[in-house]
Amino acid sequence: MSDVTGSAGASSPADAAGDEFRGEVVDLLGVLAYGELTAFSRLGADADLAPTLSAKAEMAGLAVVRFRHFERLGRRLTELGVEPQTAMEPFVTAIDAFHERTAPSTWLEGLVKAYVGDGISSDFYREISAYVDPETQELVREVLADDGRADFVVREVRAAIEADPRVAGRLALRGRRLVGEALSQAQRVAADRDSLASLLVGSVDRPGADLAELMRMFGRLTEEHTRRMDRLGLMA
């Protein structure tokens, strides 16, 4: 945490992120908050496609976890003196457009999107958080940690492939499309917001990642995507 203090020597909640990172932190928490809010509503809708009551309950449980993440991010934004709705607003159009382009038509496509598409986006924002204050990094890691969907999704997708191997090819194509769309969407969001872009490329008074580190970052993102596809039993 930044060592910014008031005249009495105590940090206020609004100072906790430090002036150096304030705009970046607000935008990072704003995009994550809207991502979690839309995930909540999307997973709830996907639960309606679930083939069994137990699967429906699992999906509903995951949706609840994502709403709790949204609430946690909202509380932090409020502590920083920012209305959560204000922080989320700049990202509504881009995130909604991504979900419209990648809307699943089946239960299995929804599972792959929840695991692969959301996973690559989470990896990207986790990488960005390395350039903000430690308290924000901890919060980002908390809300982007695996919420239990990995084991559930892997189990369901692998069972479906075992029952009908033909679905593997279609889901693999879906996964490859999702990673491209998710990375493009995350990059567009960062490019459209100077504060987020500066976390990666730096600014006048603060260096960011050099080209070599950016290449390593995208290498890590690709490796994580391949690992997820392998777990699902799909070709990346």
pLDDT at 127: 87
For 103, how many CA atoms within 13 A lie in the half-sphere containing its CB? 8
| Amino acid type, 213 | E
pLDDT at 12: 37
11: left (phi over 0), alpha (psi -120 to 50) or beta: beta
Residue 25 lies in a domain: yes
Domain count, the chain: 1
Q: Phi first, then psi: what are they for 207, rounded to 5°?
A: -70, 150
Distance CA 125, CA 145 (A): 12
For residue 35 the two structure tokens come to 């991502």
- Residue 6: inside a domain: no
CB atoms within 10 A of CB 93: 11
Residue 124 lies in a domain: yes
pTM for this structure?
A: 0.82
Structure tokens at 181: 């769309």
Q: Decide if 114 is inside a domain.
A: yes
| Neighbour-count burial of 230, counting CB atoms closer than 10 A to its CB (0-12 exposed, 13-18 middle, 19+ buried) | exposed
Question: Per the domain annotation, does 45 fall within a domain?
Answer: yes
Residue 8 lies in a domain: no
Nearest Cα residue to 69 out of 3, 11, 141: 141
Give the CATH number of the domain where residue 193 resides.
1.20.1260.10
7 part of a folded domain: no
CB 146 within 8 A of CB 138: no
Quick count: other Cβ atoms within 10 Å of Cβ 55?
Answer: 18
Residue 184 CB coordination number (10 Å): 12
* Residues comprising the chain, all counted: 236
pLDDT, one tens digit for every residue, the chain (236 residues)? 333 333 333 333 334 444 556 888 999 999 999 999 999 999 888 888 899 999 999 988 889 999 999 999 999 999 999 999 999 999 999 899 888 999 888 999 999 998 998 888 889 888 888 888 899 999 999 999 876 668 899 999 999 999 999 999 999 999 999 988 888 887 778 777 777 777 765 554 555 555 677 778 888 988 999 999 999 999 86
Rounded to 5°, the CA angle 30-33-38 comes to: 125
Predicted pLDDT of residue 14? 39
Instruction: Determine if residue 215 is left, alpha or beta; phi over 0 gives left, psi from -120 to 50 gives alpha, anything else beta.
Output: alpha
Residue 10 covered by a domain:
no
Rounded CA-CA distance 222/123 in Å is: 10
Residue 198: the pLDDT is: 72
Q: Kindly give the interhelix angle for 92-101 and 167-192, rounded to the nearest 10 degrees.
A: 160
DSSP-assigned letters across all residues of 168-217? HHHHHHHHHHHHHHHHHHHHHHHHH-HHHHHHHHEETTEE---HHHHHHH
According to the model, what pLDDT value does residue 77 have? 96
Residue 195, domain extent: 17-232
* Nearest one of 236, 57, 32 to 148, comparing CA atoms: 57
What token pair was written down for 205?
């008074």
